[in-house]
Structure 1
Amino acid sequence: MDKYYRKRLVPLLLPAMILFIMVILIPFGIGVIYSFCGWRGTYFAGGDHFYDAFVGFQNYIKVFKSSKFRDSFVYTLEFTVIAVIALNIVSLIMALLATSVHKGAGAYRTIYFMPNLLGGLALGYIWQFIFEIVFSQLIFNKDGIINIPFFCNMLQDRYKAMIALAILVTWQMAGYMMLIYTTGLNNIPTDLSEAAAIDGANVFQRFRYITIPMLMPSFTIVFFLTLSKCFMLLDPNVALTDGNFNTRLLAMQILRTTKDTNPPDYGLAQAQAVIFFLLIAAVTLTQVVVTKKKEVEM
């Protein structure tokens, strides 16, 4: 079987390589070129071709001078920090609970994973109903079950909406990340914990000095996935607030740029997309390098 794949490696990879080049690389390259042009979506400002509408770094200068882009950048960073921390804590706790159960463990994992099957605008509108109707009018208002003003009208405040978005993302993604942590926990040799217990280490000491170091490969994967997905979040942001109350994430800022400019400046939006790509690449690659160095051999 190995000889078969070695002889036919190129023919087997060729369809995927062609698709990757046609769907990813070529559009990305065109987008980078258009980010240096006065592109209006259906025409170029200044001529019939992109080189006639070349504006140099003017679009990038406009991006860094834009208060909307800076605000959305800061908001995205704040949201990502909160969401990544919450996601990792919740998913790790779920994984520890799932691995401690022997009967029905598969059912628990399936139930935890099911929210990840939902997504897009539909999930956002479901949680919009929960925050606006269930939380604000039925449970947490002064006439509800318990009066907690913070949970009322969460989508009408910049920072409360950030918490609401973090709750949504954690609810959706924690089950998927739990599976990664569960796999890592199952790969930790039990004799290490048993030996530490015999030497007098308590539960918290074993978790700190054995479980966490041995879980670093799982931390690397989970941090990479959560960081990249939180930075690129769009649909829930659209569904919950639609960017109102100064709650635009970077992905929505790029989407709304063509509506904020007249005529629609697609070149400016594309420049933001290129900066967005470089930002995500820098953050995620740095995270992978840092967490990789902390991994230990089993």
Structure 2
Amino acid sequence: MYKKWFLPFIAPAVILFTLVVGIPFVIGVLYSFSAWRGVYFKGGDNLFEAWVGFDNYAKVFRNPDFLNALGYTVTFTIMAVIAINVFALAQALLVNALGRAVGFFRATFFLPNLLGGLALGYIWLFIYENIFSTTLFGPDGLLPIDLLTNMTQDHNKNLLAMLIMFVWQQAGYMMIIYTTGLANISQDYYEAASIDGANAVQRFFHVTVPMLMPSITIVLFMTLANSFKLLDPNVALTNGEYDTRMLALQILRVPKDTSNNYGVAQAEAVLFFLIVAAISITQVIITKRKEVEA
């Protein structure tokens, strides 16, 4: 019976995905090999007459802005993945240890995730420029710390600014995934480990972490993808100034930088997709193997 209704139920989703994602993706890949200018093709009346092969991709790798954005994005992603996982797991362990008001603390930690886009970026821009840089950490503030002042006006400080904002937003959501994983770990494992003489640290690394590998796989995948795709906060905080463009913003700015050369922009988008896909698939394969071992 289930097999009989499987195709009719899944068909609308497959058709919608094909129309909205699949076909535009294939067209975008083809356009990346042409002299596409957004509303017309340079050098011809159609895609194939304006075909330039791998010239757009060669221009991408010769473009210092793309390489700088790639390096900046990779640096931020490494920092974000580590920080979000540490804070999310710490929150999950804290919430899981509470006997009462668990729902209240889960909701409190999750609330920042409801904010997003440019609104989130502009809120934190106000915090950095008007609270951090003056009231709290400025020269005349409560606790003068130069690192935490004018964070959106410096190439390196902006990494920390985006990291603080991103961890604040994402950690609560990832905490929910970790709390679900912790709830599925039987207490028998901890009791057996305690009988064998394992202390709290040993129980964490030899029981909690291995049994949490399915949750870790999901959280790593989501944080990797979300970090690479970060756009709106980057626009709100610096708009790419002070050499702070990330890959998504770099792709968005290519037409303006290259006199509407959308072919190059599309080539960068294809490379962006390949990079994120390769890293995400590699991460999932590695962590899935750990799940089997666990």
Q: TM-score range by the shorter chain?
A: over 0.9
In 2: Cα distance, 1:160 partner to 1:115 partner: 22
Q: Is the 8 A contact 1:214 1:296 kept in 2?
A: no
Residue matched to 1:28 = 25
Displacement, 1:15?
1.2
TM-score normalized by the length of structure 1: 0.97
**3-state SS in 2 of match to 1:10:** helix
In 2: Cα distance, 1:22 partner to 1:215 partner: 37
- Overall identity of the aligned pairs, in %: 56
Residue matched to 1:204 = 201
**3-state SS in 2 of match to 1:73:** helix
| Pair 8,296 (structure 1): closer, same or farther in 2 beyond 3 Å | closer
List alignment gaps of at least 5 residues for structure 2: none
Residue matched to 1:126 = 123
Residue matched to 1:74 = 71
Q: Is the 8 A contact 1:99 1:182 kept in 2?
A: yes
Cα deviation, 1:56-78, whole Å, max 9, x if unaligned, reads: 10000000111000000000000
List alignment gaps of at least 5 residues for structure 1: none
In 1: Cα distance, 2:293 partner to 2:60 partner: 45
In 2: Cα distance, 1:209 partner to 1:10 partner: 43
In 2: Cα distance, 1:242 partner to 1:257 partner: 14
288-297 or 151-160, larger mean C-alpha shift: 288-297
Displacement, 1:8?
2.1
Aligned residue identity for 1:164: A
State whether structure 2 residue 270 is matched by structure 1 residue 274. Answer: yes
Aligned 1:30-179 pairs, distance under 5 A: 30-179=27-176
Residue matched to 2:281 = 285
Q: Is the 8 A contact 1:86 1:170 kept in 2?
A: yes
Displacement, 1:238?
0.4
Aligned length: 294
Aligned residue identity for 2:266: Q
Displacement, 1:9?
1.8
Displacement, 1:229?
0.5
Cα deviation, 1:156-177, whole Å, max 9, x if unaligned, reads: 1111101110111100010110
Cα RMSD of the aligned pairs, angstroms, is: 1.0
Displacement, 1:6?
2.8
Residue matched to 2:221 = 224
Displacement, 1:18?
1.0
TM-score normalized by the length of structure 2: 0.98
**3-state SS in 2 of match to 1:53:** coil
Aligned residue identity for 2:269: A
Displacement, 1:296?
4.4
Aligned residue identity for 1:293: R
Cα deviation, 1:6-25, whole Å, max 9, x if unaligned, reads: 32222211111111000000
Cα deviation, 1:1-59, whole Å, max 9, x if unaligned, reads: xx2x4322222111111110000000000000000000000000011111110001000
Displacement, 1:261?
1.0
Following TM superposition, where does structure 1 have runs of at least 4 consecutive aligned residues deviating by more than 4 angstroms?
A: none
Q: Is the 8 A contact 1:213 1:296 kept in 2?
A: no
